[in-house]
């Protein structure tokens, strides 16, 4: 399935242009501690990584709970170089009182909008404003097989107002394929019920091909993923995988999990749209609110 998720030549050309302009793609990961956020990031770019900046040394002391830190990577995807910034966030919802536990995360997203707006207003002649706005927020869902936690719904609502939210089922190897399907449907109906507006959005500019692509993504959400920091050898090829007593899970095998779909979605099919939607919808909403407030 999903052969149409292969990028078209046009998408590739646009990517090239974006790269020449020195564009940045900023992805944030959010979710409870221990759901495999850091592992998945590591898995996403394992075979494509060219260069990394930021904290990559092993963490000696546990990370402070309020610390949000960006890491910069250059990856080669499809023969195209991409500068990718990953913003790992501390797990939320770990405390007894979780009031406002999402505040630092939402604040971080808004701060990037406000920094961009300041630059736009003051440095009109700068042809290029460094873009630190979050283009995609991967939201990690606990693979309970039951429902979302109330706190998840609160956080999802807050996030969806300011950023493109893409839900993923973490550690999908803990669910059977059947459980996975049922869980997906339940999660999506909860999203609908709570009026959480997930990415992708259809717009008038979308052509038939793009609308179809969006529909396919919606049918698949949330991406059920498995991450690993280990390399296993399958058919003589080193791949990211998890080995246990009864077998090996290959993170890159579509029959095992949807990791490859997520990666294609992020770095190929929806890369440009994630960036544009951030600028045209989320940033514009922020911007007009701010400018209106200034006038009053
Ligand atoms: P974080 O707190 O969300 O950043 O979680 P980590 O990436 O630190 O992972 C927490 C633990 O879960 C580690 O022991 C990982 O090896 C394990 N883990 C990560 N991803 C997966 C997965 O897809 N499946 C399984 N079974 N375990 C995973
Ligand atoms: Mg982590």
Kindly identify the ligand whose nearest atom is closest to the C-alpha of 55: 2
Nearest Cα neighbor of 263 from 231, 233, 236, 226 is 226
Rg over CA atoms, the chain: 19
Q: How many residues does the chain have?
A: 296
Q: Is the CB of 277 under 6 A from ligand 1?
A: no
C-alpha to C-alpha distance for 282 and 285, rounded to whole angstroms = 5
Nearest Cα neighbor of 67 from 38, 43, 40, 39 is 38
Instruction: Give the burial class of 79: count Cβ atoms within 10 A of its Cβ; 0-12 exposed, 13-18 middle, 19 or more buried.
Output: exposed
Kindly identify the ligand whose nearest atom is closest to the C-alpha of 31: 1
Q: Is the CB of 104 under 6 A from ligand 1?
A: no
Q: Is the CB of 173 under 6 A from ligand 1?
A: yes
How do 49-53 and 69-77 pair as beta strands?
antiparallel
Kindly state the tokens that stand for 99.
């009031």
Distance 116 CA to ligand 2 centre (A): 27
Distance 36 CA to ligand 1 centre (A): 3
Residue at token pair 């990584």: 49
C-alpha to C-alpha distance for 23 and 168, rounded to whole angstroms = 25
C-alpha to C-alpha distance for 100 and 104, rounded to whole angstroms = 8
- Per-residue pLDDT of the chain (296 residues), as tens digits, is 344 444 555 556 655 565 666 568 999 999 998 999 989 988 887 755 555 555 444 444 444 445 787 888 877 766 667 788 989 888 777 777 777 888 999 999 999 999 999 988 886 666 678 889 999 999 999 999 999 999 999 999 999 999 999 999 999 999 999 999 999 999 999 999 999 999 999 888 888 998 999 999 999 999 999 999 899 998 898 889 999 888 899 999 999 999 999 999 998 889 889 999 999 999 999 999 998 988 87
Distance 254 CA to ligand 1 centre (A): 19
CB proximity list for 21: less than 8 A, separation 6 or greater = 128
Q: Is the CB of 270 under 6 A from ligand 1?
A: no
Q: Is the CB of 226 under 6 A from ligand 1?
A: yes
pLDDT of residue 78: 65
Q: Is the CB of 167 under 6 A from ligand 1?
A: no
Q: Is the CB of 152 under 6 A from ligand 1?
A: no
Reported ipTM: 0.99
Nearest Cα neighbor of 140 from 236, 36, 233, 232 is 36
Nearest Cα neighbor of 263 from 166, 172, 185, 133 is 166
CB proximity list for 200: less than 8 A, separation 6 or greater = 164, 214, 217, 218, 270, 273, 277
Kindly identify the ligand whose nearest atom is closest to the C-alpha of 32: 1
pLDDT tens across 221-268, in order? Answer: 999 999 998 999 988 988 899 998 888 999 999 999 999 999 999 988
Nearest Cα neighbor of 156 from 284, 33, 31 is 31
pTM across the whole model: 0.88
Kindly identify the ligand whose nearest atom is closest to the C-alpha of 92: 1
Q: Is the CB of 135 under 6 A from ligand 1?
A: no
Are the CB atoms for 155 and 140 separated by under 8 Å? no
C-alpha to C-alpha distance for 195 and 181, rounded to whole angstroms = 21
């Amino acid at each position: 399935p999903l052969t149409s998720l292969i990028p078209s030549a046009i998408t590739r050309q646009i990517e090239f242009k974006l790269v020449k302009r020195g564009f940045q793609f900023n992805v944030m990961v959010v979710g409870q501690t221990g759901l495999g956020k850091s592992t998945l990031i590591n898995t996403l770019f394992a075979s494509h990584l060219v260069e990394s900046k930021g904290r990559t040394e092993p963490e000696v002391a546990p990370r402070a709970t309020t610390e949000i830190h960006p890491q910069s990577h250059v990856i080669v995807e499809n023969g195209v170089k991409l500068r990718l910034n990953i913003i790992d966030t501390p797990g939320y919802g770990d405390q007894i009182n979780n009031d406002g536990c999402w505040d630092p995360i939402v604040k971080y997203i808004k701060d990037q909008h406000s920094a961009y707006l300041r630059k736009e207003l003051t440095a009109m002649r700068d042809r290029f404003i460094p873009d630190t706005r979050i283009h995609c927020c991967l939201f990690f869902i606990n693979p309970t097989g039951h429902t979302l936690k109330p706190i998840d719904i609160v956080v999802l609502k807050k996030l969806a107002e300011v950023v493109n939210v893409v839900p993923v089922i973490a550690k999908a190897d803990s669910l059977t394929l059947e459980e996975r399907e049922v869980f997906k449907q339940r999660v999506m109906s909860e999203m609908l019920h709570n009026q959480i507006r997930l990415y992708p959005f259809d717009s008038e500019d979308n052509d038939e091909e793009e609308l179809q692509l969006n529909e396919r993504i919606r049918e698949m959400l949330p991406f059920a993923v498995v991450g690993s920091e280990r390399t296993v050898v399958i058919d003589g090829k080193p791949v990211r995988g998890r080995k246990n007593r009864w077998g090996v899970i290959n993170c890159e095998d579509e029959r095992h999990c949807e990791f490859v779909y997520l990666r294609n979605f992020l770095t190929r099919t929806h890369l440009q749209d994630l960036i544009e939607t951030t600028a045209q919808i989320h940033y514009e909403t922020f911007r007009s609110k701010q400018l209106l407030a200034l006038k009053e």
